[in-house]
Structure 1
Amino acid sequence: MQRLTRMLYPPQCILCRALVEEDFALCGGCRRDTWFISGLVCDACGVPLPGTAEADERVLCDDCLKIARPWVQGRAALIYRDTGRKLVLALKHGDRTDLVRPLSRWMSQVASPILLPDTVVVPIPLNRWRFFKRRYNQAALLARAVADQTGLTYLPDALIRPQRTRPLDGMSVEQRFETLSQKIRPHPRRSTQLKDRSVLLVDDVMTSGATLAAATEACLVAGATRVCVLTLARVAKDD
């Protein structure tokens, strides 16, 4: 029966639908255009860095040297370009929730070195209006899957975003941070779950880090002892 099922429904590339050898995989062409992050990375945002470092040495990219990050460590699975960008947009705006399973696996792999046993997984919240318009929060879908795969506790509504904010596209780094300052808050009834806990914040993309910074501050206000961040993709400067 399983062989018959695979004959009728052969595995397809998660992006272009070309035939592949296993489920939830990329074809050769799409994989060649996917910038997976590995090797030496910035300890604060996960962007890849050239060279090598000692095992216990903390290294930071230029952006994280200039901008103080309120979280402790950060990781990302992909660079936000080519296939990585297409996958993010397909999940975020194309209703491709079927992508959550393979994408969250990549995220769980890169996050494993920074996780503590008592970590709780918290998604970046959406404003209610945007949630109703999109019908789902892609960060919450990824966060739930990461929690399931790592065996950690998932807290879907520890944070809230009560006010609408302007789209961040086209804003400078300073404008992004100003726009999002104090716009993400602890849930008045559920944020007690963050007290004295290590938190892993999950989002789809990190650009400037303004959204993650606002969410981190909210976690710290709620009493979290340690906050790390995990994104599917990281916007990086061109070589």
Structure 2
Amino acid sequence: MRMQSVIRAIYPAQCVACDAQTESEFGLCGACWRETRFIGGVICDRCGTPLPGDTPDEMLQCDDCMKVARPWDHGRAALVYTGVGRRLVLGLKHGDRTDLARPAAHWMARVVRPLVQADSVLVPVPLHWTRRVRRRYNQAALLALALGRVLEVPTCADALLRPKKTKPLEGHSRDARFAALSGAITNNPKRAGAIAGKSVLLVDDVMTSGATLAAATEAAMQAGARNVSIVTLARVAKDA
């Protein structure tokens, strides 16, 4: 404890979003907390996006999920992909901010815990090997491993593979995203036992159209998953 006090005196705890001093490690300062849109209340049961209303226990779907077939059962997201939330996702994804996986896991656990079942296993959305080498890590795998520790749920980081290299999908239409992801994700035959007969919770950093998560869900179902739900750190929302 004395050593921790000395270290804290030399290196005060800082906000993970802006470096302002905070009372505890891996947290947000008051200003960033107020600017971060945490998702709660009424949500879409399929993707986790916030919805208007005052009956949070009602199972509703957003316009996107009513128009586009979702192969998974339920979906949850911790943040709206805007402002500080967007900055955190981009920092984790492109800025070598691997430390963000720790607080993100606690935020994600808050929304996904009700979906955890006795046979649940966490599975991250995979990256193509060339992108993983360039980035040096898969941000979805970091989130899944950290979330597994918080929830005390097993994680299989390589249950799915991405043998097909796709171009970055930012700015593409929904149809273009789904076309690009067709056949891009498969199950790993060496890890089939980790998925078969299990309740799979797919983990990713952000959901936009849902094309990547749909491809990953289909691969998990082909591997024998009993059911599949999704959880993301952030969700792109139309009103963001």
Shorter-chain TM-score: what band?
A: over 0.9
CA deviations on 1:130-154 (whole Å, 9 max, x unpaired) are 0001000000000001111111111
Distance 1:149 1:157 in 2: 20
Q: Which residue of 2 aligns with 1:90?
A: 91
CA deviations on 1:15-47 (whole Å, 9 max, x unpaired) are 111111121111122112101001111000000
Q: Which residue of 1 aligns with 2:80?
A: 79
Q: Which residue of 2 aligns with 1:12?
A: 14
Distance 1:128 1:5 in 2: 38
Q: Which residue of 1 aligns with 2:54?
A: 52
Distance 2:170 2:5 in 1: 47
Which one-letter code corresponds to 1:45 in the other structure? Answer: C
CA deviations on 1:166-224 (whole Å, 9 max, x unpaired) are 21122111111111012100112212321111000000000000000000000111110
Question: 1:104-143 residue pairs with structure 2 within 5 A?
Answer: 104-143=105-144
1:159–1:191 Cα contact (<8 Å) kept: no
Which one-letter code corresponds to 1:50 in the other structure? Answer: P
1:231 matched to 2:232: yes
1:65 matched to 2:63: no
Runs of 4+ in 1 over 4 A off after TM superposition: none
Offset of residue 52 of structure 1: 2.6
Distance 1:108 1:207 in 2: 20
2:41–2:56 Cα contact (<8 Å) kept: no
2:121–2:200 Cα contact (<8 Å) kept: yes
Distance 1:196 1:211 in 2: 22
Offset of residue 66 of structure 1: 0.6
1:195–1:224 Cα contact (<8 Å) kept: yes
Distance 1:16 1:180 in 2: 35
Q: Which residue of 2 aligns with 1:152?
A: 153
1:125–1:160 Cα contact (<8 Å) kept: yes
Distance 1:198 1:95 in 2: 31
CA deviations on 1:23-78 (whole Å, 9 max, x unpaired) are 111112211210100111100000011113373x3200110011110000000000
Q: Which residue of 1 aligns with 2:180?
A: 179
Between the two proteins, the alignment pairs up a number of residues equal to: 238
Offset of residue 108 of structure 1: 1.0
CA deviations on 1:98-124 (whole Å, 9 max, x unpaired) are 111111110111110111111000000
**Equivalent position SS for 1:231:** strand
**Equivalent position SS for 1:68:** coil
- For structure 1, the residue ranges without an aligned partner over 5 or more in a row are none
Distance 1:53 1:72 in 2: 20
Distance 2:218 2:123 in 1: 13
Distance 1:161 1:54 in 2: 36
2:42–2:56 Cα contact (<8 Å) kept: no
Which one-letter code corresponds to 2:131 in the other structure? Answer: R
Which one-letter code corresponds to 1:27 in the other structure? Answer: C
Which one-letter code corresponds to 1:3 in the other structure? Answer: S
1:119–1:197 Cα contact (<8 Å) kept: yes
- For structure 2, the residue ranges without an aligned partner over 5 or more in a row are none
2:174–2:209 Cα contact (<8 Å) kept: yes
TM-score, with structure 2 as normaliser: 0.96
Distance 2:161 2:25 in 1: 35
**Equivalent position SS for 1:24:** coil
Superposition RMSD on alpha carbons, in Å?
Answer: 1.1
Distance 1:92 1:140 in 2: 11
